[in-house]
């Protein structure tokens, strides 16, 4: 079922003199069209639309993929579906721009592409819930079902078109060459997240592997000359 959040984003990205949404194009249904750009809004995994976007790009269409990242979520509980609001609370889960890499790992066969723009609006949403357990086989009496999601605000709308754009998400002073321990330390994230970031950078052509320091793989940025220090890197 389409959420209000999805409808709101479609209207936002189809803004213009003649907004068009839910347009049939061959065997595909396009969320919105803005001038000559096809807009696809994807709340779920980018893997689900990978083949569709590849096909549209192969047909020389200009495509904008919108992958919203939830910066904050207000959970609104009701006593029943469409019923009285009984509580509001802010979810402790916070999305950041680094979440792009969790999705890009499934999308590196598509991005980058000369006709593709990837946009990750950082949004604030409200989520309406009511008591229930949906289709889950096991449930508890305090289970909740999501009735709807609504857009409360848009904080940022960064766009990514080239491999170099991904470097905006990383610290400017990474050593050259670097390993995933450097990424983890500079961003304050777990090593497995840094490994996923490094994987995406390599697959998108933004970095290349240049050797090893102990068991750690070393990488360097592609397309930007760097001054290398003569001191040897220590293993991570």
SS (H, E, C) the chain: CCCHHHHHHHHHHCCCCCCEEEEEECCEEEEEEECCEEEEECCCCHHHHHHHHHHHHHCCCEEEEECCEEEEEEEEEECCCCCCEEEEEECCCCCCHHHHHHHHCCCCCCCCCCCEEEECCEEEEEEEEEECCCCCCCCCCCCEEEEEEEEEEEEECCEECCHHHHHHHCCCCCCCCECHHHHHHHHCCCHHHHHHHHHHHHHCCCEEEEEEECCEEEEEECCCCCCCCCCCCCCC
In the prediction, which pLDDT does 126 show?
Answer: 96
In the prediction, which pLDDT does 234 show?
Answer: 40
Cβ atoms of 91 and 74 closer than 8 Å = yes
In the prediction, which pLDDT does 139 show?
Answer: 63
Ordered structural domains, the chain, with CATH? 4-160 (no CATH), 164-221 (1.10.10.10)
Across 125-130, average pLDDT: 93
In the prediction, which pLDDT does 230 show?
Answer: 39
Percent of the chain with pLDDT over 90: 72
Tens of pLDDT, residue by residue over 163-187, are 999 999 998 889 989 999 999 999 9
Instruction: Look up the pTM and report it.
Output: 0.86
Confidence of residue 100 (pLDDT cuts 50, 70, 90): very high
Asked which of 14-18, 65-69, 93-97, 154-158 is least confident by mean pLDDT, the reply is 14-18
Name the more confident of 161 and 135: 161
Instruction: Report the candidate in 100, 96, 116, 5 with the shortest Cα–Cα distance to residue 53.
Output: 116
Percent of the chain with pLDDT over 70: 89
In the prediction, which pLDDT does 77 show?
Answer: 94
Cα angle for residues 49, 47, 22 (degrees, 5° grid): 20
pLDDT reading at 36 higher than 50: yes
Cβ atoms of 129 and 146 closer than 8 Å = yes
């Amino acid at each position: 079922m389409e959420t209000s959040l999805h409808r709101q984003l479609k209207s936002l990205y189809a803004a213009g003199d003649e907004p068009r949404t839910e347009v049939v194009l061959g065997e595909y249904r396009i969320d919105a069209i803005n001038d000559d750009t096809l807009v696809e809004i994807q709340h779920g995994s980018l893997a689900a639309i990978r083949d569709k976007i590849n096909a549209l790009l192969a047909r020389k269409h200009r495509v904008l993929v919108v992958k919203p990242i939830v910066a904050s979520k207000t959970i609104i509980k009701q006593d029943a579906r469409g019923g009285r609001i009984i509580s509001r609370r802010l979810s402790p889960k916070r999305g950041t721009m680094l979440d792009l890499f969790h999705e890009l790992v499934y999308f590196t066969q598509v991005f980058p592409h000369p006709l593709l723009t990837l946009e990750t609006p950082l949004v604030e949403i409200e989520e309406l819930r009511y008591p229930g357990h949906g289709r889950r086989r096991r449930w508890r009496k305090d289970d909740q079902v999501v009735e709807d999601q609504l857009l409360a605000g848009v904080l940022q709308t960064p766009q990514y078109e080239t491999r170099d754009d991904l470097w905006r998400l990383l610290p400017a002073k990474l050593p050259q060459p670097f390993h995933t321990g450097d990424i983890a330390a500079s961003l304050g994230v777990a090593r497995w997240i840094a490994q996923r970031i490094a994987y995406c950078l390599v697959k998108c052509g933004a970095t290349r592997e240049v050797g090893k320091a102990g068991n750690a793989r070393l990488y360097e940025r592609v397309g930007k000359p760097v001054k290398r220090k003569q001191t040897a890197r220590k293993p991570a």
